Amino acid sequence: MVKKCTCTTLKGTKCKNIVGEKSVDKRFCHLHQQCEKIFLSSRAKKKPSPKKLPPKIKTPSPPKIKTPSPLSIEPIFRLPSKTPRASITPPKHALKRPINSSECENIGGRKNMEDAHILQTVGNWNIYGVFDGHGADYVSKWLRNNIEDEVKYLLFANNVKKIKNTNKFSNDFANIILNMDENIFKNTDNFESRYKVSKWYGGRLMDAGSTLTLALYSRISKYLFVANVGDSEACIFTESGIIDCAKTHKPDDPDELKRIKAAGHFVAHYQGAYRVDGNLSLSRAIGDFKFKVDKDDDKIYLGEEAAITAYPDVLFADLSKQKSDVYIYLCSDGITNALNEKALKDFDSNIVLTNNIIELIKKGMPLQQICDTIIENLLKSASNPQYLDNMTLLLAKLV
């Protein structure tokens, strides 16, 4: 009987000897060459049936713990599928805001909310801003949406890590605000056609303006710069009392009155307040370009010589040596006007508001609840709520 071997595959390298039932390399199998022809002829007539293997016993595998990768985390801002990622910027309100800060605003008795504000961080700096719009919300909303870029330019133009010359920084701060006034004017469309056709100097955008109260605080050097344009308030205080307050600008102030008259305008007392040309109850503002047009040559004066100038007063405070907690509040004149209505005309509204805030802080009330409580009390105590102005209040703990 001829011994045969069966190859598992012609292309394989193993050859099984039927007698020995051992798998050996076919190069060393002496029966391989002899049986190869027989195997090929038998394969052509009948295919060998596959060998049945015993069933495999499936052992349960341990459960896989899925760890989310950075790409699988749900994004905060959903991007449209057809819009490239590089062209998407997050909304302003979702950007990082300073810690220990609060805000509250109310429309009052007005039809539209023309106030705007910002709470923002840029690097190691905190930004607090209140913009009280009048005539329209165009200027106040423009300031809220563009103030961050202007502040970035200011910070990176100076040595933001260590400011040696605070006077230079204050001057640069003031010039940045003047530049913003000029940029708003350049973005006013069809200025020529507007003020030629209109009843007085301008159309709707020429009548729009806004105050600006902007505070920049360095968390490293503990330096605080507060720029104020108009009659909004800013006050720095501790639980012991007021440290300093930003200067407000009213038409009856002697220095302001001198500039207004030199620009060819006048101040008149009307409806319980001194007003420029019997209209505007503040002497400095962003926008209000109809007060910046010279009546003789129809030229725009956007500098310090304008009747309603945008040049700010900048307050500087070094808080690095303060041992107690330091706070700051910024508010629109809707808050102070409501305080004056409550038979407080014999007292400074800053002192009254600061004392109320200090009393609530000593009671352990959170800052956000303090803002809500103050505006709620002003709304309840108003004799004529329908005459209340827009109200905005920011409160923050600095040190």
Burial class (CB in 10 A: 0-12, 13-18, 19+), 342: middle
In a domain, 298, yes or no: yes
In a domain, 134, yes or no: yes
pLDDT-above-90 percentage for the chain: 44
Which pTM does this prediction carry? 0.72
**Would you state the pLDDT for residue 93?**
42
* Position 232 pLDDT exceeds 50: yes
For 240, the token pair is: 């012991």
DSSP letters, 297-341, are T--B--STTSSSB-PPEEEEEE-TT--S--EEEEE-HHHHHHHHH
The CATH number of the domain holding residue 359 is: 3.60.40.10
pLDDT band at 155 (very low <50, low <70, confident <90, very high): confident
Asked if 24 and 128 sit in the same domain, the reply is no
Asked if 17 and 127 sit in the same domain, the reply is no
Asked if 15 and 110 sit in the same domain, the reply is no
Asked if 30 and 100 sit in the same domain, the reply is no
pLDDT band at 380 (very low <50, low <70, confident <90, very high): confident
CA distances from 294 to 62, 193, 288, 309 (A): 83, 17, 13, 13
Q: Which range among 136-145, 199-208, 275-284, 358-367 shows the weakest confidence by mean pLDDT? A: 199-208
In a domain, 256, yes or no: no
Asked if 24 and 103 sit in the same domain, the reply is no
Instruction: Count CB neighbours of 272 within 10 A.
Output: 7
Asked if 39 and 134 sit in the same domain, the reply is no
Residues 6 or more apart whose Cβ sits within 8 Å of residue 195: 201, 202, 203, 206, 290, 293
**Would you state the pLDDT for residue 51?**
59
In a domain, 73, yes or no: no
In a domain, 212, yes or no: yes
Asked if 22 and 122 sit in the same domain, the reply is no
Asked if 167 and 19 sit in the same domain, the reply is no
In a domain, 301, yes or no: yes
In a domain, 306, yes or no: yes
39-60 exposure pattern, b = at least 16 Cβ within 10 A, e = fewer: beeeeeeeeeeeeeeeeeeeee
> Between residues 129 and 92, which one has the greater pLDDT?
129
Asked if 221 and 326 sit in the same domain, the reply is yes
Asked if 154 and 215 sit in the same domain, the reply is yes
What's the chain's average pLDDT? 77
Query: How do 22-25 and 14-17 pair as beta strands?
Result: antiparallel
Asked if 130 and 201 sit in the same domain, the reply is yes
Average pLDDT of the segment spanning 277-287? 93
In a domain, 262, yes or no: no
Asked if 151 and 293 sit in the same domain, the reply is yes
- CA-to-CA distance for 283 and 276, rounded, in angstroms? 7
Q: Residue 357's domain spans which residues?
A: 92-249+284-397
- CA-to-CA distance for 153 and 267, rounded, in angstroms? 37
pLDDT band at 49 (very low <50, low <70, confident <90, very high): low
> How many domains is the chain partitioned into structurally?
2
Average pLDDT of the segment spanning 66-79? 34
Cβ proximity of 377 and 339 under 8 Å: no
For 167, the token pair is: 């006077």
Cβ proximity of 221 and 268 under 8 Å: no
- CA-to-CA distance for 114 and 140, rounded, in angstroms? 7
Indicate the residue type of 144. Answer: R
